[in-house]
Amino acid sequence: MTLRDHLRGAPSVGAAEAVRLVAAGALVVDVRTVRLWSRAHIPGSVPVPLQELEDRAVELPDDRLLVTVCTGGLLSRGASGLLTRLGFDVVNLAGGLVEWRAAGGPLEGDRVG
């Protein structure tokens, strides 16, 4: 499967919609490195680096909406495509943590990026 294949498939949502979805019970899957996740992340998010996502997908719940996130939205877009093909209900946060913070979404830590 090519990178282009991973970039297809899952819809993207804006930050305001992502904030609403998370408040309604969606689980945020942060696909950045654990180091970046530890610097700043959405409260309640789970860190699953993109390189580990396919192998660790079994750890994710299949009965909740997943919202994939990274710093700017590109890596998480690929992750959302992969998770969609694995059978998960998933959307990508367009604009990533940058847009999440701009929309007033809560963050733990202070160093996005």
Burial class (CB in 10 A: 0-12, 13-18, 19+), 32: buried
Distance, C-alpha 80 to centroid of its chain: 7
pLDDT tens column, 35-93: 999 999 999 999 999 999 999 999 999 999 999 999 998 899 999 999 999 999 999 99
pLDDT tens column, 11-25: 899 999 999 999 999
The end-to-end CA distance of the chain, in Å, is: 28
**Residue 2: pLDDT above 60?**
no
Task: Report the DSSP pairing between strands 46-47 and 27-30.
Answer: parallel
Asked if 1 and 89 count as a contact pair (C-beta separation under 8 A), the reply is: no
- Give the amino acid at 73: G
